[in-house]
Amino acid sequence: MVSSPQVDEFQKPPARKTFLTRLAQVPWTWRVTIGYLSVMLFLPLAAMFLKASTESPANFWRIATSPIALAAYDVTFTTAFVAALSNGLFGTLIAWVLVRYDFPLKRLFDASVDLPFALPTSVAGLTLATIYSDNGWVGSLFAPLGVKIAFTRLGVFVAMTFISLPFVVRTVQPVLTEMEKDIEEAAWCLGASDFQTFWRVVLPPLFPSILTGIALGFSRAVGEYGSTVIIASNTPFKDLIAPVLIFQRLEQYDYSGATVIGVVLLMISLVILLGINLLQAWGKRYG
């Protein structure tokens, strides 16, 4: 009887790597990143989706598409988008002035751009409501014309514009600082006008950063609560925003209903931000 040859231990197939073994081979930077994102982002989102899943599909659709919810979505996203576009224009202009011109108290103006970052949102809302009310410094100028700002949808726009302005300025400002003026001077020497130089030479490198600032400002405006809840009347079908509607649901102990609206708010925001990021990638490629 011929015995089978013994297999050398060095010829044995390697044992399967366990999950812990594979995890130990992952760089520590990846482990820290994944762990931090899991605790701070993925787990809360998963908990929100799980809470919303306690509602039946029919009830989920009923809550998400109720008339008051649809009106809140319209006020929130439309106003936030218009405020972000407005800041995209005026924020770029402010960044241009701060970078290209020297004037007295320039450092003070530059530092004041970051004021919405440091100012508590409730204080910002109280200040805006005081200034833009019918008896305020600015509101009293529009009151004789029949234009009411505070406690209307226009007041929500003012609050969203105020809190999202720094995102555009601080995103565009470094790009303008690093941009060489020799290219603009070369365009002028070739006979280009100031508008042609800005449109064809300056704007293409700035376009991705402007879109980034608009996306960040839009995200900030959509999630704003503290300032808008004070300057708005929070009336349904008028100026009620989705974050305030969520809070009202929580006050009624309707936790699953509030979570449903939060999930819808999250999904719509993700779709819009994805579209802006795709537009930004297109601008970098073909700009």
How far is the C-alpha of 204 from the C-alpha of 180, rounded, in Å?
14
pLDDT at 287 over 60: no
| Range of weakest confidence among 25-29, 91-95, 147-151, 262-266 | 25-29
Give the model's pLDDT for residue 189: 81
**55 vs 8: which has the higher pLDDT:** 55
- pLDDT > 90: what percent of the chain? 48
Give the model's pLDDT for residue 283: 65
Question: Tens digits of per-residue pLDDT, 103-120?
Answer: 898 899 999 999 998 888
The count of domains in the chain is 1
Give the model's pLDDT for residue 14: 52
Give the model's pLDDT for residue 194: 78
> Within a domain: residue 213?
yes
Contacts of 73 (CB under 8 A, 6+ apart): 242, 264, 265, 268
pLDDT at 197 over 90: no
Exposure string for 36-50, b = 16+ CB within 10 A, e = fewer: eeeeeeeeeeeebee
> Within a domain: residue 7?
no
Question: Tens digits of per-residue pLDDT, 46-103?
Answer: 988 898 888 899 999 999 999 999 999 999 999 999 999 999 999 999 999 999 888 8
What CATH number did the domain enclosing 189 receive? 1.10.3720.10
> Within a domain: residue 14?
no
At residue 228 the predicted structure's pLDDT band, cuts being 50, 70 and 90, is: very high
- Going from the C-alpha of 118 to that of each of 106, 109, 121, 171, the distances in angstroms are 19, 15, 9, 17
> Within a domain: residue 39?
no
> Within a domain: residue 22?
no
pLDDT at 166 over 90: yes
| Terminal-to-terminal C-alpha distance of the chain | 79
> Within a domain: residue 143?
yes
Domain residues for 188? 68-286
How far is the C-alpha of 202 from the C-alpha of 210, rounded, in Å?
12
Give the model's pLDDT for residue 24: 72
pLDDT at 4 over 70: no
Give the model's pLDDT for residue 141: 92
> Within a domain: residue 198?
yes
Contacts of 144 (CB under 8 A, 6+ apart): none
> Within a domain: residue 266?
yes
**76 vs 13: which has the higher pLDDT:** 76
Q: What is the mean pLDDT of residues 209-223?
A: 90
Give the model's pLDDT for residue 195: 80
| Range of weakest confidence among 110-114, 136-140, 186-190, 216-220 | 186-190
How far is the C-alpha of 173 from the C-alpha of 179, rounded, in Å?
10
163 closest CA partner among 236, 251, 107, 241: 241
pLDDT at 10 over 70: no
